[in-house]
Structure 1
């Protein structure tokens, strides 16, 4: 059975050929010739869709629509009318109709409307499955090529697009194939980073745009010409940006969207400090030792971002009035909205918003958040729901009303970890699950990316024998003692600091107010 339809029209007998046509297509149809009966039938029986004639005696179509929707808000209703008057269309659309047809209608029009309103999800799913089968082969062949930094960005964009398209599909087999291909892409990307990252940092090979180069390459020229907002949402993956884009687009046109590469470790202490300082961590430590804290130092590791940004502006001969606001609590975000007009006095306003990072940590520690963000799709959905109801959306709206150029970015991404790999270190080794730094670390070199000499990738070296070790793909580090506990507690949590497409390839977006 295709679907069950209720059709209300005071001239229902004249529609017998249409009804027979639809019954031959497998639809089950109940008919009534007035609005009152339509309301009663809709209340007593389940219908997949309802056709309503707008001009019926007694209860007209709009009145019938209101009563049906009062009892069942979700049922799709198609309004059919002889009138093309604008007020009727507006009232009907305001009453949440699903489609609108003008008499006389032919059977194919009716069938098309049914397909559009009842079968769209299945048709889209089938088309997406077919299209991905074609793309799967193309992506697979490209993964075997020697991809450059831009081609990897393109591959990741395509994977994210397909992941979001396929999440609504009922084809579990195709989803499993996609998961395997994404894992293969991550494995190849980690090999790419392993082979090239050190050369990029040392300047012996042309590399991608990276964290420490971002502001000088993309923001500072704009600041010299006009007021600018820079909004940094901590820990925002590219796929999360994709689902936020329609919400941001309510206020802004996307002037340019690009992917840049986070430095390693893909952790706030390193990547975000590098963005604001315009320097690699080792260079920050040497040039501004008062603003840098190593892993073993007491205190917060990102307490001097504003100082580093001001020093960066000064080095680049940019003398502007700026503000820096870091949002870690809802009350502060609301106050920022309330005092928004005060920011008009500045040439550069920087807002760091920490919610997404807190969400990933909360998901690890709180079972209820883990249930709400059970998988990648749910994690994206929760991010979208947060943004839609957050003060940050109101901030975007206010910026757009002022017509101010805005840049949106992040410091690093995050990956859902699956596989525990063993590592041994002393009590001074840091606690991050995706990278370790310490003396005499013991690990399987085949499972990790290693910087035996941290200065080679411009990272500080607290001790002569200090080594940085990065987890790859969806791996995470666990110590041999209490290994099973670590595996059970941290598996399927979102972590950052290591090497993966999700952590390294992150968005930078240029926005122009509508």
Structure 2
């Protein structure tokens, strides 16, 4: 079986016949030509896997040939072979998108190595990934079964995300299936862990992880000092794997000092977790401190309209009233453009809070719009959309404008989301909320093993909208459906990304500290 079709262009090709035979013996098909004009015509009329291109040829140079070949087929890899090692030639060649270059005289093994790098890279990486995961599988299995605490769970989840991203490089459906099974197993164990420990974390002076309501106290305000503005950016509904997808774009302008995670409170829903972040309090305390501003699920009006007021209250309680801060919320493209235009003016503040609502809009819209269902059908495409969005977003433009300044940057989120697959039946009265991953109401009827239930919401730091209200949270990849029209909703919402319940993806979320390069 031929490994690939090589076009080798060199005006002294006769002297390279032994190399051609060497490559053919290794399984490649090699077509040789002696000048750039013939090469351009050949690439126009024939499929080619790699071009080996001599830089110095009479008639039309290698670099000119390269430029014309790229006009015909931008994707074809070109390996430039040159006697000339001058820096400006290399700069020009790299700028013209060569894939690799070799210095004459070349020996057959050099050429072979370069071809493997270019053509077999994907296959070799996939094989290596599969082997490495097989070795790690046992370690992850042992970690899951060693009664992990909250720090160990964060570590396990980071490793799972690492392998999930690595599996994108693997073309082994069997290994991807093994990985998905292990991730499900992890979520099953994590649900047991949260069921057992979550309420104890909310007790005074408990040994507990950093959570939504003390994120500012422990992860943001310690970095706020006069003279170096801190930008706190909250991209809502951003999972750890989505952060990893946009991380390379941040690294173009910023140096990452700390890449950490924290726990979103329950429900992992914007109105609870995000309000808790800015108020520095659990929702029940917010309702008590701001009775006119807190709104429950069943009340009319926006549920996240008062973050700025909540944050002033937090600064006051922590005796940090001296912090000069700005608050910007971006909910549409026009807001984003305003941020780009105004970002320089923010440098005079100690702290700049920027809430970017894009991911929430995408994940909610996804259930309504068939086109988005097609675009974000699984985790890989969800990450890809996140990266594409961020790369072209006003937020990225705004950050580039201040990247050269001396600033600190803290990026975080309010909660993540999980792709739901398993419908669970829940019966409730008219007061029951409609959320798919959590519900509260007075007369909830459900299968106990399918949910985490807080019969006394106060113990979970949650408001009690009605007497005898209780909260339930869907586990793992479950979603909560009413019996009426059950099959329609079960099919409609299956494989959509939702939040509000208990899963690694929703609860263990990124908080990243960066500085300008």
Report what 2:185 is aligned to: 184
What is the aligned partner in structure 2 of residue 139 from structure 1?
Answer: 140
The SS at the match of 1:298 is coil
TM-superposed CA distance for 1:2, in Å, is 0.8
Work out the CA distance in 2 between the residues paired with 1:247 and 1:490: 32
Structure-2 residue corresponding to 1:97: 98
Q: Contact 1:49/1:75 (CA < 8 Å) preserved in 2?
A: yes
Residue 80 of structure 2 aligns with which residue?
79
SS of the residue corresponding to residue 100 of structure 1 reads: strand
1:263 to 250, 262, 265: 265
**Aligned to 1:508, what secondary structure does the other structure show?**
strand
Per the normalisation by structure 1, the TM-score is 0.98
Shift in Å, 1:369: 0.8
Deviates more, 1:230-239 or 1:58-67: 58-67
Structure 1 unpaired stretches of 5+: none
Number of matched pairs: 514
Distance 1:420 1:199 in 2: 29
Is the Cα contact below 8 Å between 2:233 and 2:356 reproduced in 1?
Answer: yes
- Give the structure 2 partner of residue 234 of structure 1: 236
Q: Structure 1: how far apart are the matches of 2:74 and 2:305?
A: 51
In 2, Cα distance between the equivalents of 1:175 and 1:66? 40
Is the Cα–Cα contact under 8 Å of residues 236 and 358 in structure 2 kept in the other structure? Answer: yes
**CA displacement 1:225-273 (0-9 Å, x = unmatched):** 4421111001001100001100011111001010100000000111000
Cα deviation for residue 204 of structure 1 reads 7.0
Report what 2:506 is aligned to. 503
Task: Name 2:403's counterpart in structure 1.
Answer: 400
> In structure 2, how many angstroms separate the alpha carbons of the residues matched to 1:26 and 1:8?
19
Question: Shift of the alpha carbon at 1:203?
Answer: 3.8
Cα deviation, residue 489, structure 1: 0.9
Is 1:436 aligned to 2:444, yes or no?
A: no
Deviation of the 1:205 alpha carbon: 4.3
Taking the TM superposition and a 5 Å limit, the aligned residue runs for 1:380-395 are 380-395=383-398
Give the equivalent residue in structure 2 for 1:355.
358
Structure 1 residue 140: Cα displacement? 1.1
What is the 5 A alignment of 1:412-451? 412-451=415-454
How far has the Cα of 1:342 moved from its partner? 2.2
> What is the rounded CA distance, in whole Å, between the counterparts of 2:238 and 2:348 in structure 1?
29
**Aligned-partner Cα distance in 2 for 1:459–1:211:** 13
Given candidates 377, 380, 403, the residue that maps to 2:380 is: 377
Deviations 1:358-397 (A, max 9, x none): 0001111000011111211000000100000000001221
Distance in 1 of aligned mates of 2:28 and 2:89: 29
Question: Distance in 1 between the 2:243 and 2:41 partners?
Answer: 46
SS at match of 2:202: helix
CA contact (8 A) 2:129 2:169 kept: no
Contact 2:377 2:496 in 1 (8 A): no
Provide the TM-score with structure 2 as the length reference: 0.98
Distance in 2, Cα, partners of 1:489 & 1:323: 41
1:403 shift after superposition: 1.8
Distance 1:399 1:439 in 2: 51
Deviations 1:268-291 (A, max 9, x none): 111000000000111111122122
Distance across 1 between alignment mates of 2:174 and 2:152: 27
Q: Does 1:410 align with 2:410?
A: no
- 2:125/2:169 contact within 8 Å kept: no
Q: Return the alpha-carbon distance in structure 2 between the equivalents of residues 344 and 137 of structure 1.
A: 49
Give the distance between the partners of 1:351 and 1:371, measured in 2 at CA: 30
CA distance in 2, matches of 1:35, 1:326: 56
> Matched residue of 2:403: which SS?
helix
Shift of 1:341: 2.4
Tell me, yes or no, if the aligned pair for 1:202 and 1:457 is still in contact at 8 Å.
no
Contact 1:324 1:349 in 2 (8 A): yes
For residues 400 and 97 of structure 1, what CA distance do their matches in structure 2 show? 30
> Following superposition, which runs of at least 4 residues in structure 1 exceed 6 angstroms of deviation?
none
Contact conserved, 1:291 with 1:308, CA < 8 A, in 2?
no
Give the structure 2 partner of residue 222 of structure 1.
223
